[in-house]
Structure 1
Amino acid sequence: MSLYSKIGILTLAITLGWSCTDLTTALKAQGLGNSPYSSIGMGEFYGESYSDNTGMGQSGVSTGSGFQINNLNPALWVRNRFTTLDIGLIGQYKEIVAGNKNQRNAGGNLAYVSLSFPVSPRWAIGVSLKPYSFIDYQNLSTRLVPETSIPAQYYTTGKGGINKASITNSVQLGRYVSIGLESSYFFGNVRKATDVSVPFSNSGGDYIVSLSDKTTYSDISFRAGAAARIPIRKDNKLNLNLGGAYSFSTTINSTHVRSFELTQGSFNVIDPDTLENNLSGGLTTPSQFQVGASLEWPFKLIVSADYSRQAWSQFRSFSGANDNLKDVGRIHVGMEYLPRFTSLNYFNLVRYRVGFSHGKTPYTINKNDVNDTNVSLGFTFPMGRGYQNFLSVALVGGQRGTAGAGMIRERYGRAVLGITLLERWFTKQKID
């Protein structure tokens, strides 16, 4: 690869890195579509999997192909022997049913930008930037003003989220074991508002009471991982892979601003007031562990199974509330198949994936658990000169919750598009 091409890739990565904050902020206004569940806790999570692992039911904490970055486990970044740039986009379509109400919506966002490069055969460093969670909801209800017979309309909204910028160090220990540490910086803000419209027929219009909250987040966190590749058959024909990752619970520093406004028509009844200004506090995130195992026939077939668990009982909002969230577990299974690595037929070089994931969410509605189940398909298409770059597509379809009394059911279709660019850097040139 020429020096100019290397500079071009670095420039692209740096430009994307600097612009991702503005890009995610702009797209986050739309988010991934209206989600009533995002009003609880920290909102919706994007997850750590990139496009290839998403197509395998978000499994793969124990194995890395070396062709794409496996972000489920920091210990697997060292498997990438090439300088690797991964960029991903995510889109989602959702149908929401609550009682006799039905809504369809869609949204999209940047999924991730990552750059990994090997410092030595046993050490790799990576940087990444991705959205971590999002809040995107809007609800309208009508009920009586307390201690009166006057009906009022309550309109609640929430927008925003938390982003994560990370540096990953991954090291190979001996022949079979690798370890890794991801150091991350959380940043972002969330805006929530409640507008109450109270009708007064003998006046110049309805009274509108508005209460707005803005919370800004910034702090660091850590995620560690380990992986082992154990040969079962000689000549690297079959491997048993074991892996695990642990995300540490952390309290993210937060500042909070709350304002109040009372208007009638387009005029202020009283001057707007700031009730809380830059009040300091914290948001405690849940710890999470992931463990997994897989059987790998190199350059042919991978079958993986993972289990993950999040300790949502540790969660505390800015106000110190837990929102009645509970610890939950989830299973992930997936398979990747490569027909023939040495074939001249293009479709024999395409990697095909299928996956399944099921688990409980931390939410409880009317004493009923809210489950989430999905299936996935994935494809990785080689492209470019020598087929050393890749275009990956993951398609996910699932359902969360049920349509029972007082419940909310979400049926969703999700797509993740990933682009992977590979090159050899830091290689000494030889002259024949």
Structure 2
Amino acid sequence: MIKRILVVVLICITASAFAQEGNSSPYSFYGLGLSNFKGSIENQAMGGISILGDSIHTNFRNPAGYGALKLTNFTIAGSHRETNLETNTESGSNNSTTIDYLSLAFPVSKRLGFGFGLIPETSVDYEIIEGNDNALSHYSGDGGVNRVFLAAGLELFKGFRVGAEGSYNFGSITNEIIQADADQQYSVREIDRSDIAGLTYNLGLQYETTYAKRYKLYTSATFQPETSLTLENQRSLQSVIYSGLDRAVVSVVDSQDFSLADTKSIVPNTYSFGLGTGQVNKWFAGGQIEYSETSKSSNRSFDFTNTSYEDSFKYRLGGYFVPDYNSITNYWGRVTYRLGARYEETGLLIENQSIDEFGISFGLGLPLGRGFSNANLTFEYGQRGTTTAGLVKEDFFKVGLSLSLNPLRPWFVPNKYN
């Protein structure tokens, strides 16, 4: 089993650079790119809510959840997204496949748990060509920010847990602009690169209590304090030979490199609150709201008169249902069925238009073998943006898959027999 896990880890590390480019969206040009969802595939299936303290799954969005762990959990996830893009005059499509996260979480006692892992935090992935064969502008970008985290959760008393997470963020983003004119011998290419590094933190609370003898009430809260990431910026100006047929640079004639001043990117204060109810291993329903001071955000080394930021709000609803958790003869009775919806005001404004996003999701938690391990599937349909003011509207369909692997007993319980 250990050898298999190590093979998976090596595959994921090899794929980490590829995982940064996962949105294929023109809106990933702004700021540090589009924020990837920071929760698990199980969370995504329920609209992104992360209220529950789970004994066998990792909660990436609230570190207090590590205090509820009863078994070691190794989890890995990936997703595939198909996107249709349209403006008032044109349309197109693209697709992307990514690794979403990799983590290991484990209890060290009945009330204390730890976890660590790697999550692609933001992604930049776009290519836009404007103009005709006589004169065109070719815009492209790739990269993003990854986050390595270490988290711990502690149950102070029955049902009340606290947690903290520290993360090191790193990555690079490259933006490229090519101006090609049939009347000019050479085209002009500008390449801007930012290398990004910095620390972020997240604090969490969870509380659950029983009422009416068999029902439970769940509450959660998280707070991410404001920090900043450091960006080391470089620029290269080049004279190039550009092939309009292949839409690519054939060769570089001349190049000049410039070191730009370092800049800071604010990671704003972010708050979330959640409330839900249900029966353990039977059903759950809840809602969550998140507020972030994204009005403090800015673009990296670019200034645009048509772009600004405002504070963002995210609203999530979701839940799950298990027909018969202990069924021996009915496999589908032990499956967890999840459903959710979300609406997000991202805080990005272009031409005074708010770039909002919504999604509806459905998922399945499929038991594996005789233990607590499971595979989780998520299907989501969503929209981002608008065609107003010449902007782009995106319709996307996403399929996500995670493996959540658990041993049959906590690692700190000794064997009774050799």
TM-score, normalised to structure 2, is: 0.91
Equivalent-residue separation in structure 1 for 2:364 and 2:196 (angstroms): 36
Query: Could you tell me which of 328, 332, 335 is aligned with 1:350?
Result: 335
Inter-CA distance 209–429: structure 2 relative to 1 (3 Å threshold)? same
CA-to-aligned-CA distance 1:286-343 (integer Å, 9 cap, x gap) = 2221110110201101111000112111213443869411111111000100111121
1:46 aligns with 2:23: no
Residues 41 and 325 in structure 1, CA contact (< 8 A), matched pair in contact too: no
1:229 aligns with: 208
Indicate the residue corresponding to 1:185 in structure 2: 168
In 2, the alpha carbon distance for the partners of 1:263 and 1:65 equals 56
- The answer to whether residue 285 in structure 2 is matched with residue 303 in structure 1 is yes
Which of 69, 75, 85 is the aligned partner of 1:96?
Answer: 85
The within-5 A match list for 1:154-165 is 154-165=137-148
| Shift of residue 39, structure 1, vs aligned partner | 0.9
- Greater Cα shift, 401-410 or 40-49: 401-410
- Matched residue, 1:291: 273
CA distance in 2, matches of 1:156, 1:162: 20
Work out the CA distance in 2 between the residues paired with 1:359 and 1:217: 26
Decide whether aligned partners of structure 1 residues 185 and 321 sit closer, same or farther in structure 2, where only a CA change above 3 A counts: farther
AA in 1 matched with 2:72: T
Alignment of 1:114-193 (within 5 A): 114-142=103-131, 152-193=135-176
C-alpha distance in structure 2 between counterparts of 1:403 and 1:283, whole Å: 29
Equivalence map 1:13-412=2 (5 Å): 16=9, 20-28=12-20, 31-60=21-50, 62-142=51-131, 152-200=135-183, 206-234=185-213, 237-264=214-241, 271-276=254-259, 279-319=261-301, 323-344=307-328, 345-384=330-369, 386-412=370-396
Given candidates 394, 413, 416, the residue that maps to 1:427 is 413
Deviation for aligned residue 1:67: 2.4
Distance 1:217 1:405, change over 3 A: closer
Question: Does structure 1 retain, via aligned residues, the 8 Å contact 2:149–2:166?
Answer: yes
The Cα of 1:249 is off from its aligned counterpart by: 2.1
Conserved 8 A contact 1:284-1:317: no
1:235-279, CA deviations, whole angstroms, 9 ceiling, x for partnerless residues?
A: xx211111011122221122111111113566765x3111226x4
Relative distance call for 1:342 and 1:267 in structure 2 (3 A) is: closer
Aligned to 2:6: 11
Letter in 1 for 2:231: S
Q: What SS does the aligned partner of 1:357 have?
A: strand
Retained in 2: the 8 A contact 1:33–1:105?
A: no
Q: 1:108 and 1:293 mapped to 2: Cα distance?
A: 33
What's the counterpart of residue 147 of structure 1? Answer: none
Contact 2:36 2:121 in 1 (8 A): yes
Other structure's SS at 1:120 match: coil
2:235/2:259 contact within 8 Å kept: yes
Contact 2:121 2:146 in 1 (8 A): yes
The 8 Å contact of residues 285 and 316 in structure 1, kept in 2 or not, is answered as: no
| Alignment check: 8 A CA contact 2:308 2:350 kept | no
Q: How many Å separate the matches in 2 of 1:335 and 1:405?
A: 37
Letter in 2 for 1:283: S
Q: How has the CA–CA distance of structure 1 residues 296 and 152 changed in structure 2, closer, same or farther, with 3 Å as cutoff?
A: same
**Contact map agreement 1:254 1:282 (CA 8 A) in 2:** yes
Letter in 2 for 1:406: G
Q: Quickly say closer, same or farther: Cα 1:366–1:8, change in 2 above 3 A.
A: same
Q: Distance in 1 between matches of 2:19 and 2:61?
A: 24
**Unpaired stretches in structure 2, ≥5 consecutive residues:** 243-249
Aligned AA (2:151): T
The CA deviation at 1:221 is: 1.0
1:212-245 superposed Cα distances (whole Å, 9 cap, x missing partner): 11111111110110010111133xx211111011
Query: Partners of 2:158 and 2:384 in 1: how far apart?
Result: 42
User: What one-letter code is carried by the residue in structure 1 that aligns with 2:340?
Assistant: G
Unaligned runs of 5+ in 1: 144-149
Q: Is the 8 A contact 2:86 2:394 kept in 1?
A: yes
* Alignment CA distance shift 1:231-1:264 (3 Å): closer
**3-state DSSP of counterpart to 1:347:** helix
Moved more, 360-369 or 186-195: 360-369
